[in-house]
Amino acid sequence: MDEHQIKKISALIKERLLAGESVPLEGIGTFSRIHEPQYFSRDEKGRTVAHPPKDTVQFSPEELGERE
Amino acid sequence: MKQLDFIQYIARELNISDEESQELLREFSVHLNNELNETASVQLNGLGTLKKDISGISLDLDPSFAIEINYKYAGMQPIVVSDDFNVGIEENEEPEVDVERELEEEQESVVGNEPEPDLDEEANDNIGVEVDSEPEQEPEPEPEEQVDLADGPDSEVEDESEVDNEPEEEPEVDVEPEPEEEQESVVENEPEPDLDEEAKARIAKRTASLRSPKTTKKSNRTPFYIGIGVVFIAAVIAGWQFYLKPILDEPAMLVGDSGAEQSNVTEAMDSNSISEDQQPSAALDHEKNGLEGEALDTMVMNEESSIISPENSTSRINTDSVVSAPIMAKNVAEIPVDQPRYGLMGEVDTRANDGYTLVLFSLSNRQSAMEKYELYRSAGYRSLLSPVNSSRFGLMWRVSIGQFSTVEQALEVAKELPKDIIEDYFITKI
C-alpha cells in the first residue's frame, strides 16, 4: 500500500469524523467522535466556573473476540 | 457508521467498486497493524498518531484536527457562574487585617509601657507569632535590638520614639542603622568633653539631614506614580477610542454588511461548500442528515482555511475569536411594556444584552442561521443571532435563545426546557 493511498483513506476517515460519525476499521478498531458537554468546576478562588462543551476523537481498539 | 457503509463511502469517493474498496481497507488495516507491531507507532496524516503500548492502542489526536473538530465552540470561554464564594473569602480575609492592626496597636501599647501585665504577655506572644509568620516585618525590630544591646539607654530611648512615630515603614530599616552607628562612634568619643557639644550638634545636623531625605523621597514618588497613572489612563482612552469604541458602535464592521458577508463567505470557500454543521439537536437531526454532504465540504473548507501550527492545542481554540453583539435584536420601542427585561420568551430587549443566553447552534452559513433564528423567534422565544469572527474558522453565526441576568437563571430555565428544543446547549455571555 503506497503513501498516497494511506493519505487518502486518512483524509476520508477524518471527514467522517468531522461529520460526527464513527469509523470502524476491521482488524484494528473504531474511531469515534466523542462529545463532552459543558461541565462545571471550581477555580482556585472557590468560584463555580462553567466550561464550554468539547468534541474529541477516541480510538477503541478491536477486541480479539470481535474479529470474525 | 457501519463497516459496510464506510466501504461504500470509500468506493464512492475513490470511484472504485465495493470489492476494491473492501480490499483497500483490508490492506490499510494490515498496514496499520504491521506498523504498530514493528514501530509501535503509525502516523495518520491530518488525523493523529496511533500508538501501541502495553495498555493497548491509543490515538494521539493531531493538534490541528483537535481544534478543527471543535470549531463550533470557537469563541466560547469558561464563565464564572457565581462569585459568592469569592466574596466569602474576601470577608474572611478582612478580619485578619484587623487582627494585624490590633496586634500592631498592642505592640505599640507595649512600647508605651501600659500597666496591664496580661496585655503585655499577649502582646509579646503575638509579636513573636507575627515575626515568625511575616518575615517582611522582621528587619524592623532586628536593628533596634542590636542597637539596644550595643548602645546605652540613650539610643534605646531614641529607638522607642522612632517606633512610636513610624513603626511600619521599611525604609527606616535601611536608613536607621547608619545614624546609629555614627552615634556609636560619637558616643565612644564622649570622654573628650570639648567635643561633646560639637558632637551633639553634628548628631542633630545629621539626624535632620537624614530625616529630610525621607520626606523628599516620599514626595518624589508621588509625581512618578501620577505620571504612570496618566500614561495608563491615556493608553486606556486611546484603546477605547481607536479600537473598542468603533467595534462596539458598529459590531457589524467585524463582519462587513450582510450582503458583503454572504459574498465574502462565498468567496472564501467554494460555492458548493457553503453548508453548516450544528450542535447536536434531536429536533434537527433530519436536517443534519440532509446536509451531511454539505457539511463535509465545510469541514474541508475549514481545514484548508485554518492556519494552524503543530504546537497549537485545543485549549487555544478560544483565543482568536471575536463574538459580536446580536445583530438581529429588535429596537426597545417594539418591546411590550409589560415584558420583563430578562427572560426566555418575548421580544429581544437590547437592554438585556448585558446578560447570558443559551447557545443552540453555531453555523457557518448565514442563511441557515437566519432560518434557525426565525424558527425560534416565531415559536415565541427571544432569539438571538450573533456573528462570531474566528481567525481560524472564519465567520460563523451563533443562534441562541433567552436573555438572562445570571447564569443561574439561565441554568434553571434550560433544565425546564424539553429536550427536543435544546438537547445540547451552552450558556455564554451575550
Residue B159 has pLDDT above 60, yes or no: no
- Which one is predicted more confidently, B335 or B193? B335
Separation CA B255–CA B365 (nearest Å): 13
Within 29-58 of B, beta carbons closer than 8 Å to A belong to 29-33, 44-48, 50, 56-58
Give the pLDDT of residue B45. 86
Asked if B171 has any chain A CB less than 8 Å from its own CB, the reply is no
What pLDDT score was predicted for residue B64?
83
Amino acid present at B378? S
Asked whether residue B19 carries a pLDDT value surpassing 50, the answer given is yes
Asked if pLDDT for residue B119 goes beyond 80, the answer is: no
Enumerate the residues of chain A whose CB falls inside 8 A of the CB of residue B47.
10, 13-14, 17, 31, 57
Most confident range, picked from B145-159, B240-254, B410-424:
B410-424
CA pair distance B426, B424, nearest whole angstrom: 7
Residue with the bigger pLDDT between B283 and B390: it is B390
Chain A residues whose beta carbon lies within 8 Å of the beta carbon of residue B427:
38, 50
Nearest residue of chain B to residue A57 (CA atoms) = B61
Q: Which residues contact B59 (CB under 8 A, 6 or more apart)?
A: A31, A57, A58, A59, B48, B49, B50, B51
- Of the candidates A10, A38, A47, the beta carbon closest to that of B47 is on A10
**What pLDDT is recorded for position B268?**
35
- Cα separation of A20 and A34, whole Å? 9
SS3 A35: strand
**Cα of B32 to nearest chain A Cα, Å:** 8
Please give the Cα distance from B359 to B317 (Å, whole number). 17
Instruction: Quote the percentage of chain A above a pLDDT of 90.
Output: 32
**How far apart, in whole angstroms, are the C-alpha atoms of residue B115 and residue B295?**
85
What's the confidence (pLDDT) of residue A12?
93
CB count within 10 Å of CB B141 equals: 18
Contact A10 B58 (CB under 8 A): no
Instruction: Identify the closest residue of chain A to B42 by CA–CA distance.
Output: A6
Q: Which residues of A touch B70 (CB under 8 A)?
A: 54-55
Q: In 3-state terms, what secondary structure has residue B392?
A: coil
Query: How many CB pairs lie under 8 A apart between chains A and B?
Result: 159
Contact B25 A25 (CB under 8 A): yes
Higher pLDDT pick, B202 / B264: B202
Looking only at the bridges linking them, the beta strands covering B56-61 and B79-82 are unpaired
Average of per-residue pLDDT across B301-306: 31
Q: How confident is the model at residue B63 (pLDDT cuts 50, 70, 90)?
A: confident
Q: What are phi and psi of B49, to 5 degrees?
A: -125, 125
**What average pLDDT does chain B have?**
64
Residue found by looking up cell 495608563 in the block: B232
Facing residue for B59 by CB, picked from A20, A35, A58: A58
Cβ–Cβ below 8 Å for B44 and A13? yes
What beta strand segments (E) does chain A contain? 23-25, 29-36, 39-42, 48-51, 54-61
User: A7, B41 in Cβ contact below 8 A?
Assistant: no
What distance in Å separates residue A4's CA from the closest CA in chain B?
Answer: 10
Instruction: Reply yes or no on whether the pLDDT at A65 is more than 60.
Output: no
Asked if pLDDT for residue B225 goes beyond 70, the answer is yes
Q: How do strand A39-42 and strand A54-61 relate by DSSP bridges?
A: unpaired
Distance from CA of B137 to the nearest CA of A (A): 27
| Structural domains of chain A in order of their starting residue, each with its CATH number | 3-66 (4.10.520.10)
Residues of chain B contacting A29 with CB distance shorter than 8 Å? 57
Does residue B69 have a pLDDT over 80? yes
Judged by average pLDDT, the poorest of B35-44, B79-88, B205-214 is B79-88
Q: How far is B292 from chain A (nearest CA, A)?
A: 7
Residue B61: strand, helix, or coil: strand
- Report the alpha-carbon distance of residue B377 to residue B383 in Å, rounded: 5
pTM of the model: 0.45
Of the candidates B380, B364, B348, the one whose C-alpha atom is nearest the C-alpha of residue B279 is B364
Q: What is the DSSP letter of B243?
A: I
**Average pLDDT for residues B301-315, to the nearest whole number?**
33
In the chain, the amino acid numbered B3 is Q
Supply B282's cell numbers: 434531536
Confidence at residue B137, expressed as pLDDT on a 0 to 100 scale: 40
Give the chain B residue whose CA is nearest to the CA of A15. B296
